[in-house]
A and B are shown apart, each in its own frame.
Chain A
Amino acid sequence: MNGRIVDDGNTVSLSGRFTVRDLKRVTRALGTGATQSTIVDFSNCQSMDTSIAVRIWSIIEAAEASGRVFKLTGMNSDTQQIFDRFKVIDDWPAPPVEDHTLLYNFEDIGDKVLATWRTVYGLAVFAGKAFKALFSGKFRGSITAYYMEQSGVMAIPIIITLNWLMGVVLGYQAGYQMSQFGGELFMPALLAYSICWDIAPMMTAVLVAGRSGSAFAAEIGTMKVRQEIDALEVMGFNIYGFIVTPKMIALFAVMPLLITAANFAGMAGGLAAGGMFLKMPAVVYIAEVKKAIIPFDLYWGVIKGFFYSTIISITGSYMGMRVRGGPASVGRATTSAVVVSIFLVILVDALLSLLFIHIRPGLTL
């Protein structure tokens, strides 16, 4: 029998079974009494769940604070037991109070700065240990080949497609602007420089960070959660040598090749844009590109590739190793791996660009 409430002005009688679905009715019946003294009669109340009991309890507490008196009668032992649990409510630990003071906000900023510093420091120490293992540990060919396939071979279609599209867009936009001044013949040179110096290496690095950096973090994070890393450590394995260096070597091997492929894909995109939008013959485009770039421009991408490989493999592995607790932590590690990798790639790209200006033959400002 569902809960029934009868209110005769002085006495509220509850009969039947009360569940959380009766919360509103019970609140209305007890919360709006006009009289100073109310009797709540439980004689025919067969049962009530905890949500109903806590609501009645809090109504009584609030009402008594304002001078209204409740008298509870006829409770059976089960109902009484539920109510008795709330008698020690004051002994329970209070919920933490959120601090919104100005001082707290400064402390919060300080905590975040310290956490960032600890991440940077941890990353540097991790990189040191990984490089030590790289030069002193043994080479694991089959694992390295697996990561070369995952990070290199399987990334080729997306990297070539996106860089080709970048070439098309850049070629079209540059060509359109230049054609306003009759300078469309300079488009191939501008595009080749942009692609080789920055766009192709950076796009490749961002894509590899998104594909492989996140995969490294997720893989290692899951291994942490499943205690596989602990097991390897306890078996006496050098974790850096077994887990991190195969990923580093794999990226060292494939990244320069991916960037070189991206260079040619980007320039092919420019060729397509020149042909489609500027009616530029292919031989003219190729001749202009050859006139503009030198082998150093292609090597530069390869050099950048080594820096980016280090950043992506170390950051992905480090974020994975930091996983503590459950699966949610793996998700956070994956996000951090991608965000931090891309940030560092762009930072290093900016620094390398400053260097590039000084070392590229034939480049004067």
Chain B
Amino acid sequence: MSDKIIQVESLTGGYDGKVVLKDVTMEAVRGEVLVIVGRSGCGKSTTINYMLGLQKPYSGKIYFDGADIWSSPEALISARRRWGVLFQSGALLGNYTVVENVMLPLKEFTSLTRAEMRDVAMSKLELVGMAHAASENSLEISGGMQKRAGLARAMVLDPEILFFDEPSAGLDPVTSAELDNTILSVNRSLGTTLIIVTHELYSIFAISDRVIMLDSEAQGIIASGTARDLADHSEDPRVRSFFGRKIGE
């Protein structure tokens, strides 16, 4: 089994013919927490969308566990069964309760009985501290709770890799730190590879093993390394100003 769980090779892509990412190459190693950072509009979420197969690149390849995800529709479907995603909004289905949302992938892809499905879902909700809200309507809980429930759903099939698109967006600092801890415990206890898009400095330092920084003018990666390394030793003024973030700089 290769150490590299996901590889992006010479990816070029964007929206409506406009190039946002040009010739981007990157990879994530099994078990690591890779954080993709950059200023708004630099293509962080776009990169995740390409990795998830939600958009087809203009050129370049994306390999999951050594297989090109776009080689056939079946390749994409089989890759998707092995990963989980937490979107910015949590993306819970509105007509369902929290536990029903978490049970959805089990219903679709397993032959567990309803009672077994509920037990699996409840164990994941317990892991993210949401077991008490299992029977609540998914739209009637707070934003932070929606995200934690979304995380439980993303983990319910024990994926090998979890993607997070700005998990802290719209959360207060305390809830955001709680979510960071939950994310980190998933990585530490289950060994799940995590790819996280964020621009929250606290989260970047708290949870990342490695950081990749994108830039809109460069249309790609301008720096890669540990958060501490980039903050302390980068010569690039764009990197320094991002990590320094001092008023007037």
Given A227-B87, A227-B88, answer yes or no on A234-B93 (Cβ-Cβ < 8 Å).
Answer: no
User: How many angstroms between the C-alpha atoms of A148 and B159 in the bound complex?
Assistant: 35
Determine the chain A residues whose CB is within 8 A of the CB of B84 once the complex forms: 235
B54 within 8 A of A: yes
Interface string of A232-246 (1 = CB under 8 A from B): 111111000010000
User: How many angstroms between the C-alpha atoms of A226 and B80 in the bound complex?
Assistant: 20
Determine the chain B residues whose CB is within 8 A of the CB of A232 once the complex forms: 93
A29 within 8 A of B: no
B105 within 8 A of A: yes
Determine the chain A residues whose CB is within 8 A of the CB of B188 once the complex forms: none
User: How many angstroms between the C-alpha atoms of A161 and B104 in the bound complex?
Assistant: 40
- The residue in chain A whose Cβ has the minimal distance to the Cβ of B78 is A236
Partner of B91, one of A146, A230, A236, A242: A230
Q: Is the CB of B109 within 8 A of A227?
A: no
Partner of A231, one of B83, B87, B95, B108: B87
Q: Is the CB of B80 within 8 A of A236?
A: yes
Q: Is the CB of A235 within 8 A of B87?
A: no
A228 within 8 A of B: yes
- The residue in chain A whose Cβ has the minimal distance to the Cβ of B80 is A236
Determine the chain B residues whose CB is within 8 A of the CB of A223 once the complex forms: 93-94
Question: In the complex, how many angstroms separate the beta carbon of B87 from the nearest chain A beta carbon?
Answer: 4
Q: Is the CB of B89 within 8 A of A226?
A: yes
Determine the chain A residues whose CB is within 8 A of the CB of B52 once the complex forms: 230, 234
Determine the chain B residues whose CB is within 8 A of the CB of A236 once the complex forms: 77, 80-81, 105, 108-109
B179 within 8 A of A: no
Partner of A234, one of B85, B89, B108: B85
Q: Is the CB of A228 within 8 A of B93?
A: yes
Residues 223-279 of A at the B interface (beta carbon under 8 Å): 223, 226-228, 230-237, 242
Residues 65-103 of B at the A interface (beta carbon under 8 Å): 77, 80-81, 83-85, 87-89, 91-95
Given A236-B108, A236-B109, A237-B108, answer yes or no on A231-B85 (Cβ-Cβ < 8 Å).
Answer: yes
Interface string of A201-227 (1 = CB under 8 A from B): 000000000000000000000110011
User: How many angstroms between the C-alpha atoms of A226 and B150 in the bound complex?
Assistant: 12
- The residue in chain A whose Cβ has the minimal distance to the Cβ of B104 is A235
Question: In the complex, how many angstroms separate the beta carbon of B66 from the nearest chain A beta carbon?
Answer: 19
Q: Is the CB of B91 within 8 A of A226?
A: yes
Determine the chain B residues whose CB is within 8 A of the CB of A235 once the complex forms: 80, 84-85, 104-105, 108, 153
Which residues of B come within 8 Å of A, CB atoms? 52-54, 77, 80-81, 83-85, 87-89, 91-95, 104-105, 108-109, 150, 153, 163
Which residues of A come within 8 Å of B, CB atoms? 146, 222-223, 226-228, 230-237, 242
Counting from the closest, the 5 A-B pairs by CB-CB distance are A231-B91, A236-B80, A227-B87, A227-B91, A234-B85
